[in-house]
């Protein structure tokens, strides 16, 4: 696995996604409201067996790491789609929430505030 496998969300040229409350030099012209992207991934049996063995011997759970990175990327893609559809050119205060979904998978939610920035 390369460093690119763990990078941030998708690179979108028309919707800026930041974890900060503002963007220096670009005042907020309009607040649109909350947007989110959600995905739920089931657990792969092979990854679960590998994770069980790794928990005994130690080490990174690479299959689960890859799945979580892909889930985060998909959640941000959906967040950007929703923001774009509502007329935003940015999402401020983006955060992730990850929870276990009934012991069958992992839920990843990316959320933030859709806004229109000046300039």
What pLDDT score was predicted for residue 74?
Answer: 94
- Beta bridge mates, 94: none
Q: Is residue 2 part of a domain?
A: no
CATH number where 32 lies: 3.30.110.70
DSSP string, 41-74: EEPPHHHHHHHHHHHHH----HHHHHHHHHHHHH
Strands 16-17 and 90-101: parallel
pLDDT digits (tens, 9 = 90+) for 26-85: 999 999 999 999 999 886 555 555 555 556 667 777 777 788 888 999 999 999 999 999
What pLDDT score was predicted for residue 41?
Answer: 84
Its pTM stands at 0.79
Q: How many CB atoms lie within 10 A of CB 110?
A: 27
Q: Is residue 68 part of a domain?
A: yes
pLDDT band for 87, please (50, 70, 90 cuts): very high
| Rounded Cα gap, residues 60 and 26, in angstroms | 41
* CB distance 86 to 35 below 8 Å: yes
Q: Is residue 87 part of a domain?
A: yes
Question: Above 90 in pLDDT, residue 92?
Answer: yes
Using CB atoms within 10 Å of the CB of residue 62, give its burial: 0 to 12 exposed, 13 to 18 middle, 19+ buried.
middle
The total of structural domains in the chain comes to: 1
* CB distance 80 to 17 below 8 Å: yes
Q: Is residue 3 part of a domain?
A: no
Q: Is residue 102 part of a domain?
A: yes
Range of the domain at 32: 13-117
């Amino acid at each position: 696995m390369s460093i690119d496998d763990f990078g941030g969300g998708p690179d979108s040229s028309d919707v800026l996604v930041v974890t900060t409350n503002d963007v220096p030099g670009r005042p907020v012209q309009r607040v649109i409201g909350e947007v989110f992207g959600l995905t739920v991934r089931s657990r792969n049996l092979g990854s679960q067996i590998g994770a069980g063995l790794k928990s005994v011997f130690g080490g990174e759970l690479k299959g689960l790491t890859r799945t979580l990175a892909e889930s985060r990327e998909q959640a941000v893609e959906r967040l950007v789609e929703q923001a774009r559809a509502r007329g935003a050119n940015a999402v401020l205060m983006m955060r992730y929430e990850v929870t276990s979904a009934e012991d069958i998978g992992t839920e990843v939610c990316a959320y933030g505030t859709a806004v229109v920035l000046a300039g």
